[in-house]
Amino acid sequence: MAAKSKAASHGLSFPGFLKPGWKAGWLIFLFLFSPLLRQSPALAQDFNPKEVALKLWEKLSSVTSLQANFVQYYYSNQVEEPISGRGKVFIRRPDRMRWEYSSPEKQIFLIKGELLWLYFPDEKQLIKKEADYELQAGEILGLLAGNVNLLDRYEVSASSFPTNQKNVYQIRLTPKEPGQYSYLLLEIDQKSYLLSKAILFEATGSKLEYHFSQFKLNQKLSDELFEVKIPADCEIIEGD
Protein backbone atom coordinates (compact mmCIF):
# COMPACT_ATOMS: atom_id res chain seq x y z
CA MET A 1 0.00 0.00 0.00
CA ALA A 2 2.89 2.37 0.78
CA ALA A 3 4.31 1.89 -2.70
CA LYS A 4 0.96 2.62 -4.31
CA SER A 5 0.51 5.74 -2.19
CA LYS A 6 3.96 6.92 -3.26
CA ALA A 7 3.11 6.44 -6.91
CA ALA A 8 -0.23 8.19 -6.53
CA SER A 9 1.45 11.19 -4.95
CA HIS A 10 3.42 11.76 -8.17
CA GLY A 11 0.23 12.78 -9.96
CA LEU A 12 0.61 10.17 -12.72
CA SER A 13 -1.81 11.09 -15.49
CA PHE A 14 -2.14 9.91 -19.07
CA PRO A 15 -1.89 10.79 -21.89
CA GLY A 16 -0.24 13.86 -20.31
CA PHE A 17 2.55 12.02 -18.52
CA LEU A 18 4.45 15.27 -17.92
CA LYS A 19 2.34 17.00 -15.28
CA PRO A 20 2.91 19.24 -12.24
CA GLY A 21 3.47 17.09 -9.17
CA TRP A 22 4.90 14.20 -11.18
CA LYS A 23 8.53 13.12 -10.84
CA ALA A 24 11.00 15.86 -11.70
CA GLY A 25 12.26 14.04 -14.76
CA TRP A 26 8.78 13.91 -16.27
CA LEU A 27 7.97 17.53 -15.40
CA ILE A 28 10.20 18.76 -18.02
CA PHE A 29 9.13 20.84 -20.88
CA LEU A 30 9.60 24.63 -21.11
CA PHE A 31 10.94 27.36 -23.24
CA LEU A 32 13.87 29.57 -22.22
CA PHE A 33 12.89 33.09 -23.15
CA SER A 34 15.81 35.45 -23.74
CA PRO A 35 16.44 38.59 -25.80
CA LEU A 36 18.47 36.52 -28.26
CA LEU A 37 15.35 34.54 -29.13
CA ARG A 38 13.06 37.52 -29.54
CA GLN A 39 13.54 37.97 -33.26
CA SER A 40 11.11 37.43 -36.08
CA PRO A 41 11.06 33.93 -37.57
CA ALA A 42 12.17 33.31 -41.13
CA LEU A 43 8.71 33.37 -42.62
CA ALA A 44 8.95 36.17 -45.17
CA GLN A 45 7.39 34.11 -47.93
CA ASP A 46 3.77 33.02 -48.02
CA PHE A 47 2.97 29.38 -47.40
CA ASN A 48 -0.02 27.11 -47.00
CA PRO A 49 -0.14 26.02 -43.30
CA LYS A 50 -2.42 23.06 -44.03
CA GLU A 51 -0.03 21.81 -46.68
CA VAL A 52 2.89 22.11 -44.22
CA ALA A 53 0.93 20.19 -41.55
CA LEU A 54 0.07 17.49 -44.08
CA LYS A 55 3.71 17.14 -45.21
CA LEU A 56 4.87 16.93 -41.59
CA TRP A 57 2.44 14.10 -40.90
CA GLU A 58 3.28 12.33 -44.16
CA LYS A 59 6.99 12.53 -43.30
CA LEU A 60 6.63 11.13 -39.79
CA SER A 61 4.12 8.44 -40.75
CA SER A 62 6.23 7.17 -43.66
CA VAL A 63 9.44 6.35 -41.76
CA THR A 64 10.11 2.93 -40.24
CA SER A 65 12.11 4.38 -37.34
CA LEU A 66 13.13 7.70 -35.87
CA GLN A 67 15.60 8.80 -33.22
CA ALA A 68 16.48 12.28 -32.02
CA ASN A 69 17.92 14.29 -29.16
CA PHE A 70 15.44 16.33 -27.17
CA VAL A 71 15.40 19.10 -24.62
CA GLN A 72 12.16 19.62 -22.71
CA TYR A 73 10.96 22.54 -20.63
CA TYR A 74 7.92 23.02 -18.44
CA TYR A 75 6.39 26.28 -17.26
CA SER A 76 3.71 26.31 -14.57
CA ASN A 77 2.17 29.01 -12.42
CA GLN A 78 2.56 26.52 -9.56
CA VAL A 79 6.37 26.59 -9.66
CA GLU A 80 8.63 29.64 -9.59
CA GLU A 81 11.38 28.28 -11.81
CA PRO A 82 10.95 26.30 -15.03
CA ILE A 83 11.73 22.58 -14.90
CA SER A 84 14.00 21.24 -17.62
CA GLY A 85 15.51 17.99 -18.79
CA ARG A 86 17.03 16.28 -21.80
CA GLY A 87 17.71 12.93 -23.40
CA LYS A 88 17.05 10.81 -26.49
CA VAL A 89 13.86 9.48 -28.06
CA PHE A 90 13.66 6.31 -30.17
CA ILE A 91 10.58 5.33 -32.19
CA ARG A 92 10.09 2.16 -34.19
CA ARG A 93 6.77 2.20 -35.95
CA PRO A 94 4.11 1.10 -35.47
CA ASP A 95 4.19 0.47 -31.70
CA ARG A 96 7.61 0.91 -30.07
CA MET A 97 8.78 4.06 -28.31
CA ARG A 98 11.54 4.83 -25.80
CA TRP A 99 12.20 8.18 -24.11
CA GLU A 100 15.53 7.96 -22.28
CA TYR A 101 16.25 10.83 -19.92
CA SER A 102 19.83 11.67 -18.95
CA SER A 103 18.89 14.66 -16.78
CA PRO A 104 17.81 15.83 -14.30
CA GLU A 105 17.98 12.13 -13.39
CA LYS A 106 18.11 8.90 -15.37
CA GLN A 107 14.64 7.67 -16.30
CA ILE A 108 13.10 5.57 -19.06
CA PHE A 109 9.62 5.90 -20.54
CA LEU A 110 8.90 2.84 -22.68
CA ILE A 111 5.96 1.77 -24.87
CA LYS A 112 5.83 -1.73 -26.32
CA GLY A 113 2.56 -2.42 -28.06
CA GLU A 114 -0.09 -2.12 -25.35
CA LEU A 115 2.40 -1.96 -22.47
CA LEU A 116 3.79 1.15 -20.76
CA TRP A 117 6.80 1.08 -18.41
CA LEU A 118 8.13 3.99 -16.36
CA TYR A 119 11.50 3.05 -14.89
CA PHE A 120 13.42 5.08 -12.30
CA PRO A 121 16.80 3.33 -11.88
CA ASP A 122 18.08 5.60 -9.09
CA GLU A 123 15.05 4.69 -6.99
CA LYS A 124 14.89 1.10 -8.25
CA GLN A 125 11.23 1.55 -9.09
CA LEU A 126 9.25 0.37 -12.12
CA ILE A 127 5.67 1.38 -12.87
CA LYS A 128 3.72 -0.78 -15.34
CA LYS A 129 0.52 0.32 -17.02
CA GLU A 130 -1.57 -0.30 -20.09
CA ALA A 131 -0.56 1.90 -23.04
CA ASP A 132 -4.03 2.46 -24.43
CA TYR A 133 -4.86 4.25 -27.67
CA GLU A 134 -5.56 7.50 -25.85
CA LEU A 135 -1.98 7.59 -24.59
CA GLN A 136 -0.34 6.61 -27.88
CA ALA A 137 -2.42 9.12 -29.84
CA GLY A 138 -1.79 11.90 -27.32
CA GLU A 139 -0.51 15.23 -28.58
CA ILE A 140 3.26 14.85 -28.59
CA LEU A 141 3.42 11.05 -28.71
CA GLY A 142 0.91 10.75 -31.54
CA LEU A 143 2.49 13.66 -33.38
CA LEU A 144 6.09 12.48 -33.26
CA ALA A 145 5.19 8.85 -34.02
CA GLY A 146 3.06 9.90 -37.01
CA ASN A 147 -0.01 8.23 -35.49
CA VAL A 148 -2.35 11.18 -35.96
CA ASN A 149 -3.45 12.93 -39.15
CA LEU A 150 -3.10 16.58 -38.12
CA LEU A 151 -5.77 17.84 -40.50
CA ASP A 152 -8.30 15.43 -39.02
CA ARG A 153 -7.64 16.44 -35.40
CA TYR A 154 -6.81 20.15 -35.62
CA GLU A 155 -7.70 23.44 -37.22
CA VAL A 156 -4.43 24.61 -38.78
CA SER A 157 -3.25 28.18 -39.32
CA ALA A 158 0.02 30.12 -39.68
CA SER A 159 1.36 31.58 -36.42
CA SER A 160 4.59 33.48 -35.90
CA PHE A 161 6.39 33.22 -32.55
CA PRO A 162 9.92 34.07 -31.28
CA THR A 163 12.72 31.86 -32.60
CA ASN A 164 16.42 31.87 -33.39
CA GLN A 165 15.97 29.39 -36.25
CA LYS A 166 16.06 30.23 -39.95
CA ASN A 167 14.22 28.54 -42.81
CA VAL A 168 11.36 27.21 -40.73
CA TYR A 169 7.60 27.13 -40.99
CA GLN A 170 5.54 28.00 -37.94
CA ILE A 171 1.97 26.83 -37.57
CA ARG A 172 -0.73 26.74 -34.91
CA LEU A 173 -2.87 23.66 -34.23
CA THR A 174 -6.18 24.17 -32.44
CA PRO A 175 -7.93 20.93 -31.39
CA LYS A 176 -11.32 20.36 -32.99
CA GLU A 177 -12.42 18.56 -29.82
CA PRO A 178 -11.78 19.84 -26.25
CA GLY A 179 -8.81 18.19 -24.57
CA GLN A 180 -5.84 18.78 -22.30
CA TYR A 181 -4.30 21.48 -24.49
CA SER A 182 -5.88 24.67 -25.78
CA TYR A 183 -3.53 24.85 -28.77
CA LEU A 184 -0.09 23.85 -30.05
CA LEU A 185 2.61 25.83 -31.85
CA LEU A 186 4.91 23.87 -34.14
CA GLU A 187 8.17 24.85 -35.82
CA ILE A 188 9.04 22.75 -38.87
CA ASP A 189 12.20 22.70 -40.93
CA GLN A 190 11.48 23.91 -44.46
CA LYS A 191 13.82 21.40 -46.10
CA SER A 192 13.33 18.17 -44.14
CA TYR A 193 9.76 18.76 -42.88
CA LEU A 194 10.88 17.46 -39.48
CA LEU A 195 9.72 18.95 -36.21
CA SER A 196 12.27 21.20 -34.52
CA LYS A 197 10.04 22.66 -31.81
CA ALA A 198 6.61 22.02 -30.28
CA ILE A 199 4.93 24.21 -27.64
CA LEU A 200 1.77 22.94 -25.94
CA PHE A 201 -0.48 25.35 -24.05
CA GLU A 202 -2.88 24.26 -21.32
CA ALA A 203 -5.99 26.23 -20.39
CA THR A 204 -4.53 26.64 -16.88
CA GLY A 205 -1.71 28.76 -18.27
CA SER A 206 0.94 26.04 -18.02
CA LYS A 207 3.15 25.46 -21.04
CA LEU A 208 5.14 22.49 -22.26
CA GLU A 209 7.93 22.83 -24.82
CA TYR A 210 10.04 20.32 -26.77
CA HIS A 211 13.16 20.99 -28.85
CA PHE A 212 14.32 18.22 -31.19
CA SER A 213 17.65 17.89 -33.01
CA GLN A 214 19.99 15.41 -34.71
CA PHE A 215 17.28 13.29 -36.28
CA LYS A 216 18.15 9.86 -37.67
CA LEU A 217 15.53 8.16 -39.82
CA ASN A 218 14.96 4.58 -41.00
CA GLN A 219 17.83 3.05 -39.06
CA LYS A 220 17.52 -0.42 -37.57
CA LEU A 221 16.46 -0.28 -33.92
CA SER A 222 16.91 -3.60 -32.16
CA ASP A 223 14.34 -5.34 -29.98
CA GLU A 224 16.77 -5.01 -27.05
CA LEU A 225 16.45 -1.22 -27.21
CA PHE A 226 12.81 -1.57 -26.21
CA GLU A 227 13.56 -3.71 -23.18
CA VAL A 228 14.53 -2.62 -19.66
CA LYS A 229 16.91 -4.59 -17.47
CA ILE A 230 15.79 -4.21 -13.87
CA PRO A 231 17.62 -5.37 -10.74
CA ALA A 232 16.21 -8.16 -8.57
CA ASP A 233 15.39 -5.73 -5.76
CA CYS A 234 13.45 -3.32 -8.01
CA GLU A 235 10.04 -2.27 -6.67
CA ILE A 236 7.32 -3.00 -9.26
CA ILE A 237 4.01 -1.14 -9.22
CA GLU A 238 1.29 -2.33 -11.61
CA GLY A 239 -1.92 -0.78 -12.88
CA ASP A 240 -3.13 2.76 -12.12
158: which strand partners?
Answer: 171
Q: Which residue type sits at 98?
A: R
Q: Determine the Cα–Cα distance for residues 79 and 75; give it in Å rounded to an integer.
A: 8
pTM of the model: 0.80
The total number of residues shown for the chain amounts to 240
C-alpha angle 163-193-74 in degrees, rounded to nearest 5:
45
Q: What is the pLDDT along the chain (240 residues), one digit of tens a residue?
A: 434 333 333 333 333 444 334 444 443 333 333 333 334 444 445 899 999 999 999 999 999 999 999 999 999 888 778 889 999 999 999 899 999 999 999 999 999 988 999 999 999 999 999 887 667 778 888 899 998 899 999 999 999 999 998 999 999 999 999 888 999 999 999 999 999 999 999 988 899 999 999 999 999 999 999 999 999 999 999 976
Please name each of the domains of the chain with its CATH number. 22-217 (2.50.20.10)
Q: Determine the Cα–Cα distance for residues 80 and 42; give it in Å rounded to an integer.
A: 32
Under the phi-then-psi rule, with left for phi > 0, alpha for psi from -120 to 50, and beta for the rest, what region is 193?
left
Tell me what pLDDT residue 81 has: 81
Burial class (CB in 10 A: 0-12, 13-18, 19+), 237: middle
